[in-house]
Amino acid sequence: MKKPYFKPAKDDPPPLRRKVSRNIRFEEVDMLQIAWHGHYASFFEDARIQLGSAYRIGYLDFYAHGILAPIKTVYVDYIQPLRFMEKITIEVILHYSPAARINSEYIIRNPKGAVAATGFTVQMMLNKEFKLYLTQPNYYKDFCHRWKAGEL
């Protein structure tokens, strides 16, 4: 990565990280025999779900607490192609934010460990009536408090 997607503030806790490995499936490659660019958002989601499960901040955890967390922005930097049956590793890096949003960064590596793509997503937080939260909802605020306190 040439420059970070999210610049940390002085008092931010260290980012949270998780990795997941998977193979590129036949249905994910195009006629050039490389992973089609539109599937990278799905690759990101594989890692994001892993992180959400590990810290109890996944889609269903949020939903159980009246929070929706749709994707607002997806950005991908394509560096090297991925090919059918390659085992890739996707790392998600959750960056702290005091806002009602989730900033996730991703690094996809090919079987040799070389960076094939990087990117980020931003998720906003809505209530079940699809109204934007202007401040962190209590469930996520409690999570962020534990994160900053080093309890995760």
Whether 112 is covered by a domain: the verdict is yes
Cβ neighbour number for residue 132 with a 10 Å cutoff: 11
Average pLDDT over residues 65-75: 97
**What's the pLDDT tens digit per position in 9-26?**
999 999 999 999 999 999
For 113-130, how does the pLDDT look when each residue is reduced to its tens digit (9 = 90+)? 999 999 999 999 999 999
Q: What's the confidence (pLDDT) of residue 1?
A: 53
pLDDT band of residue 3 (cuts 50, 70, 90) is confident
CB atoms under 10 Å from CB of 69, counted, come to 23
Q: What is the mean pLDDT of residues 37-41?
A: 96
Q: How many structural domains compose the chain?
A: 1
Q: Is residue 25 part of a domain?
A: yes
Q: How many CB atoms lie within 10 A of CB 38?
A: 10
Please report, for residues 5, 63, 114, 135, the alpha-carbon distance to residue 95 in angstroms, rounded to integers and kept in the order given: 10, 21, 23, 17
Identify whether the C-beta of residue 20 lies closer than 8 Å to the C-beta of residue 97: no
- The answer to whether residue 94 is domain-embedded is yes
Phi first, then psi: give them for residue 138, nearest 5 degrees: -55, -40
Q: What is the mean pLDDT of residues 88-115?
A: 98
Distances in Å between the Cα of 61 and the Cα atoms of 52, 64, 92, 130, 140 are 8, 5, 18, 17, 10
Q: Are 51 and 95 in contact (CB under 8 A)?
A: no
Res 47: pLDDT = 98
Is the CB of residue 43 less than 8 Å from the CB of residue 36? Answer: no
Residues 36-56, mean pLDDT to the nearest whole number: 97
Predicted model pTM: 0.94
Pair of tokens at residue 39: 């599937």
Domain that holds residue 111: 16-148
User: Does 2 reside within a domain?
Assistant: no
Query: What is the rounded end-to-end Cα distance, in angstroms, of the chain?
Result: 26
Q: Does 8 reside within a domain?
A: no
> Residue 54 belongs to a domain with what CATH number?
3.10.129.10
Is 4 within the bounds of a domain?
Answer: no
